Amino acid sequence: MEIRLSTSDGVPVYRQIVNQVKYLVASGRLRPGQELPTIRALAEKLVINPNTVVHAYAELENEGLVVRRHGSGTYVAEDPTRLSSRAGREALSAKVDSLLADAAHLNTSVEEIIRLVCERYANLKKKEQS
């Protein structure tokens, strides 16, 4: 499980872990039933306080993304897709909001933005094919 922490974007460390695990699940890099690193192993690897990992795992458990089995470990939930797609939508919504805010400052209409998104998408597809 590859987690990268940054102290330069103003997001608490536990929240960064939660967000990145969500992303890893949503993108299929962590699969249902897969075991997460132990609290101690992750704390030592990231050189962070073990309590911070406890906090992050508890949050993920609360949101139904992982399950903790007593005396065994922490595992990706068997059916995290529904939740992770909601998490994915939430993350994208925030990005769309900031895009719309920028558009408003640049006097660009929503129709213009949609057209631009389609154009960029076509561009990406073309690059992938070549």
Partner 1 sequence: MNNTNLIEVDRLSRRFGSKLALDNVTMAVPGGIVLGLVGANGAGKTTLIRHLLGLLRAQSGTVRVFGLDPAAHPVRVLARLGYLSEDRDLPPWMSVRELLRYSRAFRPGWDAAYAEQLREQFQLAPDAMLRHLSKGELAKAGLIVALAHRPELLVLDEPSSGLDPIVRRELLEAVVRAVAEHGRTVLFSSHLLDEIARVSDHVAMMAHGRLVLHGPLAAVMERHRRVVVQANVPIARLAGLPGALFVSGGPGEWTLICNGTPEAFAPALRELGGQLLEEGGATFEEIFHARVGHATG
Determine which residue in the list 1, 34, 43, 67 makes contact with partner 1, applying CB under 8 A: 43
Told to check if 39 binds partner 1 by CB under 8 A, we report: yes
Q: Which of 4, 7, 71, 127 binds partner 1 (CB under 8 A)?
A: 7
10 near partner 1 (CB under 8 A): yes
**Residue selected from 2, 8, 70, 128 as contacting partner 1 according to rule CB under 8 A:** 8
Helix (H, G, I), strand (E, B) or coil at 86: helix
How crowded is residue 107: how many other Cβ atoms within 10 Å of its Cβ?
A: 7
Secondary structure, 3-state, 50-67 = HHHHHHHHHHHHHCCCEE
Query: Per rule CB under 8 A, is residue 15 in the interface with partner 1?
Result: yes
Query: Residues touching partner 1: how many (CB under 8 A)?
Result: 24
Interface with partner 1 includes 24 (CB under 8 A)?
no
Q: Is residue 23 classed as helix, strand or coil in its secondary structure?
A: helix
> What is the spatial distance between Cα 94 and Cα 91, in angstroms, rounded to a whole number?
5
